[in-house]
Amino acid sequence: MEKSIIKKGSKEFIMFVILFAMMFAASSLFAQHQVGHTQITFTDPARGNRAIQTEIYYPANTTGDDVSMVAGQYPVIVFGHGFVMAWDAYENLWESYVPRGYIMMFPRTEGNMLSTNHQEFGWDLQFLVGAIQAENTKPSSIFFNGVAPETALMGHSMGGGASFLAADSLVANGNTNLKTLIGYAPAESTTNGVSSINSALSITVPAVIFSGSNDGVTPAVDHHTPMYNNLASSCKTFVNVLGGGHCYFANSNTNCDFGESTSSTGISITREEQQDVAQDLTNLWLDYMLKGDCDAFDYFQDSLANSTRISHLQACAVNPTPAIIDNGASLTSSQTGVSYQWFLNGNPIPSSNSVTIPITTNGDYVVEVMFANGCPKTSAPYTVTGVGIERYEFNNFNVYPNPTKGLLNIKGANLKGKNVQIFSVVGQVVVDLTLEGETTLDLSNIQEGVYFIKINGIIKRVVLTK
């Protein structure tokens, strides 16, 4: 797993050990299958019955060709090979991903040095996304009832660029199986006027691009970085493997290695080290995107933040942790999600599935917010006291004008003796005093912006302008 250097004996070290142990346990749970293999030649009638010879590796009870598949349904990875590279250069990948419960498909098309067509290769990858789903419904197929709908497009070099072409078409056609795109040193593909860099503009699925910092075959500035910048994904990550090269994402391959020897300089890590970095992160990303493992996303983010073996860029709407806002007679989640569950003293509150709930009992309240990506976030406990006495005696207060240029009036019943605090959006307290009753505060010496006023646990939003 991805490691970071933390001083032994520190709090951070202890937390890291716990995290690492959890990641190791999760890895052990996933790495449980043997690798089966079969070959299928699919036919695409839309392109003159084009034959797409495909090597497929899948979770099996025993290792071998055409052996039975392990019971269950498994997500799919459709992988595009590099220029004049055979599928078997990527044994390192199927040996890493398939035992964890993934089906991997490797089309063998477009392998001729003199007649390679990137556009056709992209269409092959696109076609296979649907073709394997059709196998799921064939009683005679090894994959009958064994294919999950969740699919990733992945590729290396030429195949990485072709994956962008395929993803562009799938997104445009409204395909719902494609969940993510992963490129290992993806190369710009320009056959017949298409462009992987231009295709990125239309790709909205979450994506990860891996690049070796010393790649001279497809330099990041000309290939990987423009693709990353153009991606329209709601969550995209660029991983730069420090000291890495172009061909090291795959096993040793004569054609690729020769090209690298004439173009890349300064590679300072081994092939095994580069593969270790890329596969650690890819496994976590796949588990999150294709299996809905929300903890895997947290581990992925932790690895990005702490690894000394990479640098990275990311534009990703990470699910925020909610806070609980006390409105006096009710509680509200500070974050909006697709669903909610409230808890009181550790127990779920029946029918509490709204962003706001009424307060009826003293105790510790917690809200769990479910976000659109299927991952929840849980608030810290919020303690409610004085139900039926102080809380309903105070009821509410009003502040005006709002927005204000400086003077803020506070009106309401039973204000005397109540503590008032005004704090900024980052939690800095700018006012802290005890009220003598209804009053007017002069905030003219405070910087303009959005603030929150809190009295007796009730919070309101105030906008200060100049």
- Residue-wise DSSP of 161-187: HHHHHHHHHHHHTT-SSEEEEEEESPP
Could you tell me which residues are beta bridge partners of residue 366?
343
pLDDT tens figures, 202-242: 999 999 999 999 999 999 999 999 999 999 998 999 999 99
Check if the beta carbon of residue 296 is closer than 8 Å to that of residue 427. Answer: no
| Each residue's pLDDT tens digit, 295-322 | 999 999 999 999 999 999 999 877 888 9
Do 189 and 196 contact (CB within 8 A), yes or no? Answer: yes
The reported pLDDT for the residue numbered 15 is: 47
Q: Which residue has the tokens 């153009």?
A: 230
- Mapped onto helix, strand or coil, the DSSP state of residue 119 is helix
Count the alpha carbons within 13 Å of 37 in the hemisphere toward its beta carbon: 11
Helices (H), 224-360: 224-230, 254-261, 271-291, 294-306
Nearest-5° Cα angle at 42, 68 to 58: 30
What is the structure's pLDDT at 426?
64
Averaged confidence pLDDT in the chain: 89
Q: What does pTM read for this prediction?
A: 0.74
3-state class of 296 per DSSP?
helix
* 357 strand-pairing partners: 331
Nearest to 394 by CA among 385, 402, 403: 385
What CATH code would you report for 396-464? 2.60.40.3080
In this structure, are strands 324-326 and 449-455 parallel, antiparallel, or unpaired? unpaired
For residues 435-450, average pLDDT: 90
State whether residue 418 is helix, strand or coil: coil
Question: Rounded to a whole number, what is the distance in angstroms from the first to the last CA of the chain?
Answer: 52
Which residues lie across from 76 on neighbouring strands? 103, 151
What CATH number has the domain spanning 11-316? 3.40.50.1820
pLDDT at 455: 83
- pLDDT score at 5: 34
| Cross-strand partners of 429 | 423
Whole-angstrom distance, CA of residue 75 vs CA of residue 133:
10
Residue 338 CB coordination number (10 Å): 10
CB 297 within 8 A of CB 375: yes
| Tens digits of residue pLDDT in 37-79 | 999 999 999 999 999 999 999 999 999 999 999 999 999 999 9
Report the run of H or E that residue 64 belongs to, with start and end: strand 64-65
Neighbouring-strand partners of residue 439 = 410
CA separation for the pair 86, 113 (Å, rounded): 12
Q: What is the pLDDT of residue 408?
A: 92
d(CA 15, CA 27): 18
8 A C-beta contact, residue 455 and residue 418? yes
For the chain, the structural domain boundaries read 11-316, 324-384, 396-464
pLDDT of residue 373: 79
Helix (H) or strand (E) holding 94: helix 91-97
The residues near 352 (Cβ < 8 Å, ≥ 6 apart) are 340, 341, 342
pLDDT 10s digits, 383-426: 988 775 444 444 567 888 988 999 999 988 778 888 898 888 66
118-157 pLDDT tens trace: 999 999 999 999 999 999 999 999 999 999 999 999 999 9
pLDDT of residue 4 exceeding 50: no
- The tokens of 99 are what? 């035992």
437 DSSP assignment? S
Measured in residues, the chain has a length of 466
Sheet holding 419-424, edge to edge: 429-434, 419-424, 449-455, 458-464
Instruction: Say how many C-beta atoms besides its own lie within 10 A of residue 430's C-beta.
Output: 14
pLDDT for residue 396: 66
Number of Cβ atoms within 10 Å of the Cβ of 87: 22
| Higher-confidence position of 262 and 458 | 262
Q: What pLDDT is stored for residue 131 in this prediction?
A: 98
Residues of the chain with pLDDT > 90, as a percent, come to 70
